[in-house]
Amino acid sequence: MRIQYFQHVPYETPANIFRWAKDRDITQIKGTHLYKNEPFPDFSSFDALVIMGGPMGVYDKDRYPFLKKEKVFIENAIKLGKKVLGVCLGAQLIAEVMGSKIYKCENKEIGWFPVFKTDKAEKSKYFYDFPQEVEVFHWHGDTFDIPAGTIHTFYSEGCPNQAFETEDGKVVALQFHFEVDLESVKKWIKEGENELKQEGKYIQKPEEMTSDYKKFIQLENHLYRFLDRFFSF
């Protein structure tokens, strides 16, 4: 399995996806750091594309010109039948190229909050036997409509559209984060200092996000379970 990932800012890395790849002896995992204006890869050079998150929105193409080309690349990767996984901003980019609307979520979600399986999640190739309630990490203010013809798999109290996948299982979009570890969350807190000054029902304090290491262990278990299925299917 040859994995290519897109990274939008220096501090939002694949994190535990790297650890999973190392544990599974996957050595062909390469990054395109779009904030450095690195060139897009050849489609023939990878089997799966992972699109990471970032603080920008899909509509910020004037401030981040690479977004326009990235959307075209993602759309073509899907058409070519590549495996495509989007996380947070990555999920929003996938939703947009699949024809869905991206907009501000009624509730900004930052911190640890549960997502719940939809009835349709029973048809998921990856989450059918996940717990009904899964505590995950969030950091987003935008959301998306679920694209037509896909399976809506998770929702939360603060944001109803948390994840979807195509019926063939080749494309998965996750608004939330399975991949973070403690160090990455600490970096996000530092970078998002001003955002955390806002009040909100679903915005936690920094100490709430970092104090319980057991949450990170459980999150990593969920990540491994999902990735083992996604990259072997």
Read off the tokens for 62.
């004037």
Give the model's pLDDT for residue 199: 87
DSSP line for 125-183:
SSSTTS-SEEEEEEEEEEEEPPPTTEEEEEE-SS-S--EEEETTSSEEEESSBSS--HH
**Which amino acid, residue 169?**
G
Helix then strand then coil, % of the chain, to nearest 5 = 35, 25, 40
> Could you report the average pLDDT of every consecutive run of 10 residues in the chain (233 residues)?
97 98 96 98 98 96 96 98 98 98 96 98 97 98 97 97 98 98 97 91 97 97 98 85
Asked if 143 contacts 152 with a C-beta cutoff of 8 angstroms, the reply is no
Q: Three-class SS of residue 2?
A: coil
Ordered domains of the chain (ranges, CATH): 3-230 (3.40.50.880)
Element containing residue 117 per DSSP (H, E): strand 102-117
- How much is the pTM? 0.97
Name the nearest CA neighbour of 6 among 26, 35, 33, 44: 33
Give the model's pLDDT for residue 109: 98
Distance, CA of 51 to CA of 73 (rounded, Å)? 11
Distances (CA, A) of 180 to 14, 124, 138, 208: 8, 23, 10, 15
Start-end of H helices in 26-102: 66-79, 89-97
Give the model's pLDDT for residue 225: 98
